[in-house]
Amino acid sequence: MDLNVGNVKVRKDLGATVPVEIFRILRLHGFEPLFGKSSNAITMSCGRDLGLKIGSAIMIEHPTLESYVNNVVAFFAENNIGLVSLRPEGSEFIVQVDECVSCAGVTNIGKCICGFEGGIISGIFQAFFAGSFYVKEMKCWANGDTTCEFLVKDLKEM
């Protein structure tokens, strides 16, 4: 999958990954001073754009729902974003993300902080179902939970 991020293979000694701590410093401490209360919405928008690109790329080779979901789950794990499971609940879905890159192990600060992951989930649903989705984070380490959980609703159903 080409996300147009340049040739990371030129990092022969350092490799293509960075520690989770660096991602979190940028995500949790870099955005808020710049964007204030809008920082979570901005990271959600960035995540949605990424989710659309990921979802569109996966759909080319995996056009059935089961194959698509399996490959989305694999993408999250292979890229160390989190361990994803999905369950339908009526016309809605619950997406659970264990070992979430943004929040697993963080201190309880009384609020959910994983707008980036929620945005990716929104974009992935949008890419497959060709519609718009409402995604709300219901559980988060930063809110005292031990997993992330997102409620996903089709906006047409609301």
Query: Tens digits of per-residue pLDDT, 80-113?
Result: 999 999 999 998 999 999 999 999 999 999 999 9
The whole-number pLDDT of residue 60 equals 94
Query: Which string of b and e fits 112-132 if b means at least 16 CB within 10 Å?
Result: bbbbbbbbbbbbbbbbbeeee
Where does 18-157 sit in CATH, by number?
A: 3.30.1380.20
Collapsing DSSP to helix, strand or coil, 83 comes out as strand
pTM, entire model: 0.90
